[in-house]
Copies of this chain bind each other. A is one copy, B any other.
Amino acid sequence: MPLDRIDRRILERLQRDGRIANADLAEVVGLSASACLRRVRALEEAGIIDRYVALLDQSKIGRRMDIFVEISLKSQSNETLSAFEEAVARSTEIMECHLMAGDADYLLRIAAADPVDFERIHRDHLARLPGVSRMRTSFAIRAVSKNTAFPLPEAGPDLPQQAKAK
């Protein structure tokens, strides 16, 4: 699905304010309310807009610490990886998990209240992950910036080009 300039403007705005009223969004991007709504629906159905969420203030709910954990597995076999990933998916304390190229196999991000809370998470969640051979933990002192919005260059074609490519 090709994105024209108006789509990008819609996405840019929704990435910053997911709850903006459709009427207001329409005005910002320069469309009528109905036309705007139709585009937003199309973006949702195409899966480009994955979902809408509320972001909480991490410190205000007592999760001040971000902790990164690099994990190496005992083997790279499919079963080992799958078992590990399924366990990760089941844990609500693991905020993020990436399969990595390079030194470690996985990189995890954990949000903990304090060192004691991290010990709980370590004991009840991390230590139970299957197939782990080595863990390296790094503490974040402070989050400098945290973005959920991807840049969508205003440049580029105004209209869908070669929309034929389905």
Chain A contacts to B: CB under 8 angstroms:
1, 3, 11, 14-19, 46-58, 60-61, 63, 66, 68, 85, 88-89, 92-103, 106-107, 111, 138-152
Contacts and interface: CB of A to CB of B under 8 A. Distances in A.
Nearest to A49: B54
23 contacts: A1-B60, A15-B54, A15-B56, A16-B51, A17-B51, A18-B18, A18-B51, A46-B60, A48-B61, A49-B55, A52-B55, A53-B53, A63-B150, A68-B100, A85-B144, A95-B147, A95-B148, A96-B145, A98-B141, A98-B143, A99-B140, A99-B143, A102-B139
A140 B54 contact: no
Nearest to A68: B107
Contacts of A47: 57, 60
A141 B101 contact: yes
B142 A99 contact: yes
Contacts of A54: 11, 14-15, 18, 49-52
Given A56-B15, A61-B48, A141 B97 contact: no
